Amino acid sequence: MPGHLLPCCLNGMSVTIQLDLPEALVKEAKANGLLESRRLGEMLNEELRRERARKDLGRMLKDLHSLPGEPMSPDEIQAQIDAVRAQRRQRESGH
């Protein structure tokens, strides 16, 4: 639906958003309460949280790839996992 206006109120700030969406999408979104200010705010907050997580992961991967040395092989990783599990079993058994 061209030119659909959505008044939004996020944390007391009023914003008007104009969207050009297919009419069927607007009808379904309205029917499901997705065009209400509260729901739009929730969706924006969730998307921003995901975006921050993506950026954090990207930074962590970049940092990880910049570490010196060769990556561990799958067998080395499994050996480390097995060692940690053995330590945990030993600790939990009280020895």
| pLDDT tens digits, 40-92 | 999 999 999 999 999 999 999 999 889 898 888 999 999 999 999 999 999 99
Decide if pLDDT at 9 tops 60: no
Q: With bands split at pLDDT 50, 70 and 90, how would you rate the model's confidence at 23?
A: very high
Element of type H or E holding 16: strand 13-19
Reduced to 3 states (helix: H, G, I; strand: E, B; else coil), residue 87 is: helix
Residue 74 carries which side chain, given as an amino acid letter? P
Q: Is the pLDDT of residue 6 over 70?
A: no
Average pLDDT over residues 3-15: 63
